[in-house]
A = this chain, B = another copy of it.
Amino acid sequence: MNELAESWPARFTIMVFSALILIFTGLLMLPIASAEGVTTPLVNAFFTAMSAICVTGLTVVDMASHWSAFGNIVIVLGIQIGGIGVLTVASLLGLAVSRRLGLKQRLLAASDTNPMRAHHGPVSESQTVGLGEIGGLLSAVLFSVLAIESMLTLLIFPRLLMMGEDVLTALWHSFFFAASAFTNTGFVPTADGMTPFETDPYMLTVLGIGVFLGSIGFPVIFALYRFAKVRGWKRPSRFPLHAKLTLLTTAVLIILGALAIGALEWSNGDTLGEQTIGQRFLSSMFMSTMTRSGGLATLDVEQMNGSTLLVMDMLMFVGGGSASTAGGIKVTTLAVLFLAAFAEARGYQDIQAFERRIPTEVLRVAVSVVLWAATIVATSSIILLHMTKAPLDHVLFDVISAFGTCGLSTGLTENLPDAGKYVIAATMWAGRVGTVTLAAAVAASSRSQFFRRPEERPIVG
């Protein structure tokens, strides 16, 4: 299995993900999985399995009432496997296998205190990934998931008790919420959905932090952990470039997004208009954070202005951090594109950030990911527009939400005909499996070339 993962990283990931989705579709179709004890139709079981494994959170059935306790356990298992699986596979493929570098070296390089240990040029075959290293990575991922979700569960539990739930139900719902937030899925277990928490600063802050931690990605969590741990007895360690870029870009997107959503919805009576000033800030901040790909909603997306939907389209398209449970093209991809434009404007020879230079291949991978994303979103939108004749703002929003595995919805998805549900499901799949394996696959291809062609510059722009 280790050799397979090494020689066929992209195909292996795609096979495992697809197999998982089929298994969970089968489980969800069992009569025991539905509350009424009937067989759930294939399209709905398939869509829900896809949505769970891809940690998207889009729904075509009522999640609070349709599934039995068994069904709910299957779903939570699906989002955990999906979330952890993506973390692991993305870390493995994106960091380790990609450049034929030792896994530990890659992880250390991405979160290292010593800039001299950063990678220069190709590395010998002997440094490829060993089974022990995969085990080490998996333990680290599992430990961080366990630690963060336990903390979130403990924070949410008293709030649900206060709402009048009994201890066992509150514990189960707290864990469901914690897993749903940290894996950036966005399923809600309670009957009234997010309604009881719409203006609750405590609950929204806890969920927001959960989504934020899930969205920044394992390499950044690992770097933050190292930074916090080492700080006490050593001089503050240098923070890796990847973590700096991820945190800065995420912060900029959340703040600008909140300002834009707040300004555009300020006087919309169906969303922010009736709230107090403080609630408007809280709601804007929460909705902006959810576009990283959390997908929980405290405002009715369908009632938002077209301008706000377009802003959220752009935010969801970007998504979260690399090697995270979030989707989209990833915040570092956006950052690298802007850094490239900035370098060109300033006349720098290299793309630079935080006193480091970023090699050109990274820009090429970023461009590849954006072209892939734009192609998927455009194709799905054109098919759905032609199929449903629905308005573009709703189609584009739900397609980008599916591609970025965000899970916010204008209500279009649940009313789609079966063929449309399959299109959205395929979009989730392409968004979840696609960007991760694409980035790994293009990065993993060999770059042996022994001559250079003569240079010639086409004019662009």
Interface residues of A (CB under 8 A from B): 94-95, 109-110, 115-116, 118-120, 217, 219, 240-242, 245-246, 260, 264, 305-307, 309-311, 314, 322-323, 329-330, 332-333, 335-338, 340-341, 343-353, 355-369, 371-372, 378, 381-383, 385-386, 389-393, 395-396, 435-436, 438-439, 441-443, 445-449, 452-461
Taking CB atoms, residues of chain B closer than 8 Å to A348 are 447, 449
Decide yes or no: A357 and B455 within 8 Å by CB, A340-B364, A382-B310 being known contacts: yes
17 extra A-B contacts, CB within 8 A, seeds A116-B454, A359-B457, A436-B461: A242-B458, A307-B382, A322-B459, A330-B461, A337-B371, A340-B364, A340-B367, A341-B367, A341-B372, A344-B364, A346-B445, A347-B446, A347-B448, A355-B454, A358-B457, A362-B458, A366-B460
Taking CB atoms, residues of chain B closer than 8 Å to A364 are 340-341, 343-344, 351, 363
Tell me whether B460 and A392 are in contact (CB under 8 A). Answer: no
Smallest CB–CB gap between A395 and chain B, Å?
7
Taking CB atoms, residues of chain B closer than 8 Å to A459 are 94-95, 110, 217, 219, 242, 322-323, 330, 332, 439
Taking CB atoms, residues of chain B closer than 8 Å to A351 are 364
Count of this chain's copies in the oligomeric assembly = 2
Tell me whether A365 and B461 are in contact (CB under 8 A). Answer: yes
Instruction: State in angstroms the CA–CA spacing of A109 and B247 once bound together.
Output: 44
Taking CB atoms, residues of chain B closer than 8 Å to A357 are 452-456
Decide yes or no: A461 and B94 within 8 Å by CB, A393-B392, A453-B355 being known contacts: yes
A314, A343, A456: residue with the most chain B Cβ atoms closer than 10 Å: A456
Smallest CB–CB gap between A436 and chain B, Å?
7
Taking CB atoms, residues of chain B closer than 8 Å to A240 are 456
Taking CB atoms, residues of chain B closer than 8 Å to A359 are 455, 457
**Closest residue of B by beta carbon distance from A392:** B393
A217, A246, A314, A371: residue with the most chain B Cβ atoms closer than 10 Å: A371
Decide yes or no: A241 and B456 within 8 Å by CB, A264-B386, A307-B385 being known contacts: yes
Contact of A333 among B350, B449, B460 (CB under 8 A): B460
Tell me whether A335 and B458 are in contact (CB under 8 A). Answer: yes
Instruction: State in angstroms the CA–CA spacing of A311 and B337 once bound together.
Output: 25
